[in-house]
Amino acid sequence: PYMVNKMELAKKIAELADNKTIDGISQVANYSSDKMGTRFVVILKKGAIPELVLNHLFRYTSLQSSFAVNMLALDNGTPRVLTMKQALKIYINHQENIITKRTQYDLKKALARIHIIDALLIVADAIDETIHIIRSSPTVEEAAQRLTERFGFDEAQCKAILDMTLRRLTGLEQQKYTDEKDALEKDVARYQSILGDQKFLEQTLIEELEEIKKKFGDARRTEISDYDYDESDEDLIPNKEILIFLTKSGYVKRVDPGEFRTQNRGGVGVQGMKTKEDDDIKILRHSRTKTDVLFFTNFGRVYHARGYQIQEGSRTSKGIPIVNLLKLQPKEEVNAIISMDDYSEGHYLFFATKKGVVKRCDAKDFENINCNGKIAISLREGDALLDVRPTDGKAIISLGSSGGKVCSFYESDVRPMGRTASGVKGIDLPEEEEVVGLVSSLDGTKIFSLSENGYGKITDGTEYRITFRGSKGVKTIKETERNGGLFVIKNVRGDEDIILITDHGTTIRTSLTQVNETSRNTVGVKIITLRNNEKLSSVSVLPSEED
């Protein structure tokens, strides 16, 4: 930047990194030279967000500077302080005035020349008579008078003819002057258009400026923009899709979904997140960097983070302990993760526990969550939170049981409750079964059912009879030795991708368009091939790669 000393800048960046004013910088190297120009390399710590560090560098150092400009100028002899727009307007008016005066001069000159050419063309047709008049006249004045009387010439035309030498006069080329007159008449028409039509005048100015730009233009030294230099850190972070991974031992990371390429259904997948021995993937969720992510725990509490605040990792990286992100209490574990971006009136959060208890809360109750979290639900002894879904008060809710049944009812059957309420019965479960899936019709009108052994199917939601909360539900997938029990249900449209991950970290992404829509009580098709005693750990639906 203008008037910035490179050594002082490098020193300032190092100081800001040392005193933690800018967090995330590991090292600063100045590679500037006459050969390479200005070049600084800022090495970031693991987990640092490059966009945030760059924003802080602009904010706290001279990498970005603003200079005030006093646009004081004389406008028609009067001093005025001008805005950029006013200055440009005055410049345009000045240029238009120059073009107008120049065109008026050119028009006058062209008309005068045409007037002379008219006389020359007459003389060319009567050259012998013209020469005789000139030679037989004793004076120039008499010759001019006789030419005027004979041909009707005025003073200017007579002067032009009499100023010509005899050799030039006898050598007049009629075609040459005819061509010159035609060209001048075209010029006159253009000059008159410029003087008589404002749009033609403006177009002429544009063409002349373009010619100047073409001849002399180079890159701007300064930038004119409407950029808001008081933007928050988040404003500079791209709003990208992310996948959030959480392991049973509490390691969390976010990954670009693009790292998982779509495979044909029935494949074996690729190696995903590295976990410690005896540690499995617990939760896999789709979100965005600039969306709220709510974390619900076994204590019935909820914590908040923005998507970009979760450390980014690769497909195989381990992640960081979630206690480095959230202020969890001792022995507190995250059981559910959701994305949330609308807390306005008419929006709700719908809870379901593993024992079939459900609850609905106003979304606005969760809009402001401090770093210590807040109560979200009172869990009964022996129960655990399964999942939470955003709703609009009009959705159809479906609960899937490990026994392969689905109970569907209207969300409105569950009245809104306070955060500390424990909820009401949502599905009638046998003692040995538990809820494995909570879905909302807002996510899609079809239900994707996945068995424990990796077999799945899509069924139209209309095949699931809507009953009342607390009923036993209807079969969704046949429980066979091949299939095993129901692992999860998801509401889908049918054109999304689905990501499955196993307890060994194997991950597969496949398109739901490869899964045929079938009736409710069928066995399904193979979605993933499980090997070496693998078991499914988590499933997430996300937009297809084509989207």
Q: What's the whole-number mean pLDDT along residues 432-460? A: 91
At 23, the pLDDT band (50, 70, 90 cuts) reads confident
pLDDT at site 34: 79
Instruction: Evaluate if residue 271 carries a pLDDT over 70.
Output: no
Centre a 10 Å sphere on the Cβ of residue 322 and count the other Cβ atoms it contains: 22
Instruction: Evaluate if residue 348 carries a pLDDT over 90.
Output: yes
Asked, colleague to colleague, whether 6-60 and 93-205 share their fold, the answer is: no
Instruction: Evaluate if residue 24 carries a pLDDT over 90.
Output: no
Instruction: Evaluate if residue 179 carries a pLDDT over 80.
Output: yes
Of 123-127, 197-201, 372-376, the one with minimum mean pLDDT is: 123-127
Distances 544 to 261, 502, 511 between C-alpha atoms, Å: 10, 21, 7
CATH code for the part of the protein at 238-542: 2.120.10.90
pLDDT at site 278: 56
What's the fold here for domain 93-205? Topoisomerase; domain 3 (1.10.268)
Closest CA to 71 of 93, 94, 91, 87: 87
Residue pLDDT, tens place only, 359-377: 999 999 999 999 999 999 9
Q: Where are the domains of the chain?
A: 6-60, 93-205, 238-542
Phi and psi based region of residue 278 (left: phi greater than 0; alpha: psi -120 to 50; beta: remaining): left
Burial class (CB in 10 A: 0-12, 13-18, 19+), 31: exposed
At 1, the pLDDT band (50, 70, 90 cuts) reads low
Asked whether 334 and 246 are in contact (CB, 8 A), the reply is yes
* Residue 469 tokens, joined: 């909360």
Distances 269 to 282, 457, 501 between C-alpha atoms, Å: 18, 19, 9
Highest mean pLDDT among 255-264, 271-280, 404-413: 404-413
pLDDT at site 227: 59
Q: What's the whole-number mean pLDDT along residues 110-124? A: 91
Tell which wins on pLDDT, 126 or 266. 126
Contacts of 178 (CB under 8 A, 6+ apart): 121
Closest CA to 52 of 60, 319, 324: 60
Instruction: Evaluate if residue 530 carries a pLDDT over 70.
Output: yes
CATH code for the part of the protein at 6-60: 3.30.1360.40
pLDDT at site 305: 94
At 231, the pLDDT band (50, 70, 90 cuts) reads low
At 329, the pLDDT band (50, 70, 90 cuts) reads very high
Instruction: Evaluate if residue 272 carries a pLDDT over 60.
Output: no
Contacts of 508 (CB under 8 A, 6+ apart): 260, 263, 267, 268, 269, 270, 499, 500, 527, 528
Residue pLDDT, tens place only, 54-68: 888 888 888 877 777
Mean pLDDT of the chain: 87
Instruction: Evaluate if residue 46 carries a pLDDT over 80.
Output: no
- Three-state SS sequence of 304-337: EEEHHHCCECCCCCCCEEHHHCCCCCCCCCEEEE
Residue pLDDT, tens place only, 470-492: 999 999 888 888 888 889 999 99
Contacts of 278 (CB under 8 A, 6+ apart): none
* Residue 475 tokens, joined: 């079969």
pLDDT at site 546: 65
Strand 262-263 to 506-511 pairing: parallel
Strand 497-502 to 385-391 pairing: unpaired
Instruction: Evaluate if residue 190 carries a pLDDT over 80.
Output: yes
Burial class (CB in 10 A: 0-12, 13-18, 19+), 466: middle
Q: What's the whole-number mean pLDDT along residues 246-263? A: 86
Which uninterrupted H or E stretch holds 184?
Answer: helix 174-196
SS3 111: helix
